[in-house]
Chains A and B, each alone.
Chain A
């Protein structure tokens, strides 16, 4: 069994994350779908790092984690402020810019 099974697992997780983003309405769950996609990419990076025997993949995984943490902080703050203004956590309700 080669290491490529990890890549296949990462692909499946990424697809499910994309499905969550496409199908769910709750803003928080959509956001968790984005996190799942980032994590699937991290798994692929770690596997590539082991496959090729250098540490670039691990370093980039750490960087992706930092960027994801920053994204979570700002995104959740935006969700909070939208909820305060609109009393709703649904992605369909934030449509003020729509004609």
Chain B
């Protein structure tokens, strides 16, 4: 292990450990996924530094490229509105988890300390033809049966994912005509819901729209932003963000959240 590699190890190793600790402590799933991507890239660089260039490149492509992006897609659809509770369902789970982990770490370190590792041989003799060629000879001659089994495993996994993710449509899709007829029949938002963020001083979808009577319509903010707590706190000057007493000349207006629902009846 040369001096440069030692330097790389002592810079990148703690970074990887910190990234994995981020996975352990991050509040939001997105932050955990980014920390995990950092760990994956760090491990890929370790592989390249250890003369496994092909595996390192594949690690960065497959893991931090494909797998982590798949995780991010699922977090986009699942993780936004889901909240994690900190109530322990199993008594003492946290303490026992830490104890078991520390025990494992201690036992593994003790075992590793008693091992005398051989003098590293290095891969120069095994990779005389080049990294990829040597690996290809190994995979396509000795391990060819495992390779084919893995191919069928991938096909089965793809089919399983398709079956699991498929959803039959139970009721027919509602057309625009039916939706419009329903709006007119229920007499709420006959002209459609107001769009967010369309007035003079703000132009962002996190600021609620203003109704004709000057009150902000909370219903116009996208519900994903509301679930993340990212809606604009103070819509604009003159309106109380809580929306209890809007400072308009018409004092007996209903509260903004109610006015959005009762607007149709007033019209």
Chain A residues within 8 Å of B97, by CB = 19, 22-23
| SS of A interface (majority) | helix
Bound Cα distance A46, B160 (Å)? 31
| Chain A residue at minimum C-beta to C-beta distance from B163 | A77
| Chain B residue at minimum C-beta to C-beta distance from A13 | B20
Chain B residues within 8 Å of A1, by CB = 1, 6, 9
Chain B residues within 8 Å of A4, by CB = 112, 115, 117
B63, A39: Cβ atoms under 8 Å? Answer: yes
With A2-B1, A51-B118, A58-B135 as contacts: A46 and B47 at CB distance below 8 Å: yes
| Chain B residue at minimum C-beta to C-beta distance from A59 | B138
Bound Cα distance A51, B116 (Å)? 12
Bound Cα distance A16, B47 (Å)? 20
Min Cβ gap B97→A in Å is 4
B126, A53: Cβ atoms under 8 Å? Answer: yes
Which residues between 2 and 20 of chain A lie within 8 Å of chain B, taking CB atoms?
A: 2-9, 11-20
Min Cβ gap A26→B in Å is 5
Give the size category of A's interface with B: 35 or more
Min Cβ gap A47→B in Å is 6
| Chain B residue at minimum C-beta to C-beta distance from A55 | B138
| Chain B residue at minimum C-beta to C-beta distance from A33 | B23
| SS of B interface (majority) | helix
Min Cβ gap B29→A in Å is 5
Bound Cα distance A13, B16 (Å)? 8
B21, A16: Cβ atoms under 8 Å? Answer: yes
Further contacts, 17 of them, CB under 8 A, given A55-B127, A61-B47: A2-B117, A5-B9, A16-B101, A23-B97, A25-B84, A26-B84, A55-B123, A55-B138, A59-B135, A62-B139, A67-B150, A70-B153, A77-B160, A80-B77, A80-B164, A83-B77, A90-B82
Chain A residues within 8 Å of B139, by CB = 59, 62
Bound Cα distance A71, B79 (Å)? 20
Bound Cα distance A61, B79 (Å)? 30
Bound Cα distance A33, B39 (Å)? 12
Among B20, B62, B85, B104, point to the contact of A36 (Cβ < 8 A). B20
Give the size category of B's interface with A: 35 or more
A81, B165: Cβ atoms under 8 Å? Answer: yes
* 28 chain-A/chain-B pairs, Cβ below 8 angstroms: A3-B117, A4-B115, A4-B117, A8-B109, A11-B105, A11-B112, A15-B108, A16-B17, A18-B101, A19-B97, A22-B101, A23-B24, A26-B29, A26-B79, A28-B75, A29-B32, A35-B67, A36-B20, A43-B46, A43-B47, A47-B50, A51-B118, A55-B135, A58-B138, A61-B55, A73-B158, A76-B74, A89-B82
B50, A32: Cβ atoms under 8 Å? Answer: no
B91 on the interface (CB 8 Å rule)? no
B43, A43: Cβ atoms under 8 Å? Answer: yes
Bound Cα distance A58, B109 (Å)? 24
B186 on the interface (CB 8 Å rule)? no
B40, A51: Cβ atoms under 8 Å? Answer: no
A70, B157: Cβ atoms under 8 Å? Answer: yes
| Chain A residue at minimum C-beta to C-beta distance from B14 | A9
Q: Interface code B43-80, partner A: CB below 8 Å = 1, 0 otherwise?
A: 10011001110110011001100110011001101110
Min Cβ gap B16→A in Å is 7
Chain A residues within 8 Å of B52, by CB = 46, 49-50, 58, 61
Bound Cα distance A43, B161 (Å)? 28
